[in-house]
Amino acid sequence: MLVYAGTRLQYTQFSSDQPVKVTTWDALGYYYYLPALLIYHDVDDLKFIPAIDQTYQLSGGDFYQATRLPNGHYAGKYFVGVAILQAPFFLMAHALASSLGFPADGFSAPYQLAIAWGALLYMFLALLLLRRILLRYFTDGVVAYTLLLTLLATNALQYIAVEGGQSHAYIFPLYALMLYATLRWHESFRLRWLVMMGVVLGLASICRPTEAVMLFIPLLWDWHDKERRQRKWQYLTSHASTWLIGGLSLLVAVSPQLMYWKMVTDHWVYDVGSKWDFLNPHFRVLVGWEKGWFIYTPVTVLMCLGLWKLEKSSFSKAVMVFSLLNIYIIIAWHIWRYGGSYSCRALVQSYPVWTFALAALLTAIQQQWLKVVAIIVGIYLIAVNLFQVYQYNETILHYDHMNRSYYGAIYLNPHPTPLDYSLLDSAATPSQPSKYQTQELVSLTTEKIITPDSILYHQVSLESSKAAWIFVHAEMTVQQGLWDSYLVARVQQA
């Protein structure tokens, strides 16, 4: 927890009017429902967005977070569940903003800080609950080391401590709650745990619909033993009200999303436009150099190996099936890059389930020398991850266009050179220049130090009716990072 808090503080500028800005890009799409409903009372037209975006620059330049409908309303691209989980921290910030001298507009510094630190609070509570669950099956030492690796050797650090406005940090505790409610219901068959399972499943589904796969956790719990499996299904078949109560709990939890859709689209269900390639999944999500899960967070390889070390226990089938099915769904999404990200961020929220597999692998290590090796490897993986989180936030580890050569050049390299940065370039040149039907060559040589606040423009007019292609090549040297310098070529027809 101290590392997470320290990381959050490291990326907080208390001397600035905007010390933290976490409700940006995708995070804005999850969050804006709160100020829209509770401050501006405008969830359909979103007339407040242009002024807010001009003041705080949150959308990324183009408000893609919502879609304009034929009826004139805006429908959010992202679901409302995360906003529901963020509501307590939003309300606290709204109560304090004016008295602290900040605009009570839903986006000023108190709101950003509340959302950022709220993510850490949820993580801490989930950690306490997860430890309590794991101690039912594993030793204290194994549990402690498992949680240490899960939190410090994975990209969870980035998406909870730094980019806490994203959905992952807020869904993370829902998995811990589902595991706990599932465990308690199978012990007692008490109604309150069933209701909790239904509510958690519904709430997770209206955070990210793919999280509905967590249904397989309670469904396959206690599936390892024939006697316990029969006991479970005998209870369910003899208590028909169980299905009704569970279904009602689920419906109540998803009802805010349904009511929102009805309000803005005039329909109870709205297609946000996701596309899936289930017949052609993108394995580069796991092993690709762009942002492969196994490459940039290699401790996850150990998690996957641990799936085959699960002993016959109440959770074994549930964890195995959920984990494999969840991976399949994640790598089948058409937009497999998942936007700008460090490693595969779409798996971060399900790490509570993966702790069972990692703990099982660590438990299977019996020889003393292997235990020593496991500790050394774990410390190394933690160090690499902490360093790469630093590189990512310093814009050295690129958010979208990594490749093998560049990653090799910057691996544990605190001072990459301009030559190292150049490895990101594809060095593409026309193999057959004649195919480009070039009529004239325009060469511009510019030597100028460009400050972060300045932009250098060149406008070139090409008059050629035969030119089918325009090839643009430039060489740039930047002092630090990758995100503050761009080459933009725009072709316009007069």
Give per-residue pLDDT as tens, 424-443. 876 555 555 555 555 555 56
* pLDDT score of 342: 97
Give residue 41's Cα distance to chain centre: 29
What the block records as the tokens of 231 is 């006991």
Specify the residue for token string 């709205």: 270
Closest of 328, 334, 336 to residue 292, by C-alpha: 336
Give bridge partners of residue 76 from the DSSP assignment.
66
Write the CA distances from 241 to 163, 235, 263, 296, 455, integer angstroms.
42, 11, 32, 47, 66
Give bridge partners of residue 276 from the DSSP assignment.
333
37-52 average pLDDT score? 97
Res. 76: pLDDT tops 60:
yes
Which of the four pLDDT bands, split at 50, 70 and 90, describes residue 271?
Answer: very high
Query: Can you tell me the distance from the alpha carbon of 40 to that of 31, in angstroms, rounded to the nearest whole number?
Result: 14
Query: Can you tell me the distance from the alpha carbon of 275 to that of 140, in angstroms, rounded to the nearest whole number?
Result: 43
201-230 average pLDDT score? 95
Lowest-confidence region among 10-24, 121-135, 320-334, 337-351: 10-24
Res. 467: pLDDT tops 70:
no
Lowest-confidence region among 154-163, 375-384, 431-440, 470-479: 431-440
Percent of the chain with pLDDT strictly greater than 90? 78
Q: What b/e readout covers 228-266, taking b as 16+ CB neighbours within 10 angstroms? A: eeeebeeeeeeeeebeeebeebbeebbebbbebbeebbe
What the block records as the tokens of 447 is 């030597």
What the block records as the tokens of 187 is 């012990």
- Which pLDDT tens digit goes with each residue over 357-400? 999 999 999 999 999 999 999 999 999 999 999 999 999 999 99
Query: Can you tell me the distance from the alpha carbon of 30 to that of 430, in angstroms, rounded to the nearest whole number?
Result: 43
